[in-house]
Structure 1
Amino acid sequence: MEALDTILEQVEQLAQLMARHNAVQLELREGALQIALTRAKSAESIAHTEEAMPPLFVSGYAKPASAPEAPADDLWQPLAALEVRSEFVGYCTPAPIAEGNAVERGQVLATVEVLGIPNEVVAPLPGVLERWAVEAGQPVQYGQVIAYLRPLSET
């Protein structure tokens, strides 16, 4: 839970930095964690352009398409499920973890076999396995979603 709080604090700091420097988009990758931030344009600049950017969001934590737009002062969207992605190209074998079960940070979620060598894909933070995105023996590409993990503080 502390890890998630730390990540959220870092995301808030990045958003403030973007606002200070008038940046519209930022992408950050660290291990299995990937964050993309997009800042909404001000009402004044939207009036002068046809295309408006969506409100600030964290990649992998998308709101439903039918959800109402967030007010301008409430740019943060609640965290949904984190996409756990493969860092390898090979054949994936998910760990015997049932959907809905809790996992710990560093727990092996799947094994991707590359040239006969097994490589582990681990949970980046504690959470609940929401659903698998691959089946046993399925080939996976680099960056392909293997599972969806809901952070423990959101359950």
Structure 2
Amino acid sequence: MDLRKLKTLVDLVSESNISELEITEAEGKVRIVKAGPTPLGTAQMQHYMVPMSPAPAGAVVEAAGAPAAAASAPVPSGKLIKSPMVGTFYRSSAPGAKPFVEVGDTVKQGQAVCIVEAMKILNEIESEIDGVVKQVLVENGQPVEYGQALFELE
């Protein structure tokens, strides 16, 4: 989805009485949910962008992932949860909050495992597979690339 269109939708929701907006297009699905009032009485917006299907492993993924892979530790051998976008990786929903998952936790398909912030939008990343978290491959607050492995599952 075009970034200008996405910003327009976010502005529309924040300036209106709409509490939730979901739009599905060929390239993906966007869901914008206006959070309820916080204890201070200010409103916050939560934004989620969920890809409709994983992108094929093409040249763009390899080119984007190559520098990161060359500089990182050995390649994990288990099942991987990969980033569906470029952004900043966060293990929890807020600073100081409990992480979504820890090493040793059982993860089910559709369960939220982290957040990737892209263009000031917090995107909740859900697992596409079941398994047990063997390793967290990215440090909290670190930038991630499209297709970069975030978690290794057994």
Compute the TM-score of the two structures, normalised by the length of structure 2. 0.45
Compute the TM-score of the two structures, normalised by the length of structure 1. 0.45
